[in-house]
Amino acid sequence: MQSESQLRADLAACYRLFDWLGWTELIFNHITVRVPPADTARPEYLINRFGLHYAETTPDNLVRIAIDGEVTDGSAAPVNRAGFVIHSAIHGAREDAHCIMHIHSTAGCAVACKEEGLRHDNFYSAMLYGDVAYHDYEGVTTSEDEQPRLVASLGTKNHLVLRNHGLLAVGPDIPTAFNRLWVMQRACEIQLASDAGQGPNRPIAREILERVPASRVAGKGEVHRVIFEAMLRRAGIKRS
């Protein structure tokens, strides 16, 4: 298990990687990671300081909060309300959801606005077969009343399309959640591109779809870390 200082370094680097990838939305959206010790009754997690751009995130300016919203690291920094509502709900309900990532990418929001949602008919969306959930839009997510419905919508799946809103992925650690979200984002980009071309889209047979997720080399835990480290090197991001 990583220490809090190691998690802070990884999470801050991940925020800056999102900026490099263009997955930012002014000062909004969030990536969170649960910190040890793993208190199942009242887990605590790290989140970005509200008002800073992702590019400004460092290990020291991340904020540690409990699922009830209490700041527990002595920081006086503000935390975005929507980030608390979405992330605390899932962290509190899923012991395996140590990391949660949420974005408003153009491709993700566009697919989230389509009635059909994400189709499993391209190389990347096939990898997500059977692991994508949907949650109906209820407005800006600032009410704790929505939390149980959000948790119920996600269920045991690791990818969530927030309808008319954006994308969300969970994982047991930062690298796994990152790779899951990257694949989901890529699947949305390709779906939009294929829909722009002439002619019907070619479906993938169900028997193929049912075996694709288990056959993924990039679905293995150790590969997630290798991918994450490679992307940090490519972006020139240091853990500081």
pLDDT surpasses 80 at 83:
no
Report d(CA 229, CA 234) in Å as an integer. Answer: 9
Residue 23: predicted pLDDT? 97
Tell me which amino acid residue 57 is. Answer: T
Residue 107 lies in a domain: yes
Structural domain includes residue 48: yes
Predicted confidence band of residue 25 (pLDDT cuts 50, 70, 90): very high
Question: Is-contact 180 159, C-beta < 8 A?
Answer: yes
Residue 240 located in a structural domain: no
Residue 18 CB burial class (10 angstroms; 0-12, 13-18, ≥19)? buried
pLDDT > 80? residue 1 = no
Does residue 217 register a pLDDT over 70? no
Range of the domain at 204: 4-235
pLDDT > 70? residue 219:
no
Check: CB of residue 30 under 8 Å from CB of residue 162: no
Please write the tens of the pLDDT for every residue from 121-158.
999 999 999 999 999 999 887 788 899 999 999 999 99
Task: Judge whether 162 lies within some domain.
Answer: yes
At 60, which CATH number?
A: 3.40.225.10
Categorize the per-residue pLDDT at 218 as very low, low, confident or very high, splitting at 50, 70 and 90. low
Residue 213 belongs to some domain of the structure = yes
More confidently predicted of 169 and 39: 169
DSSP letter (8 states) at residue 149: H
pLDDT at 38 (0 to 100): 59
pTM (2 d.p.) = 0.94
- Structural domains in the chain (count): 1
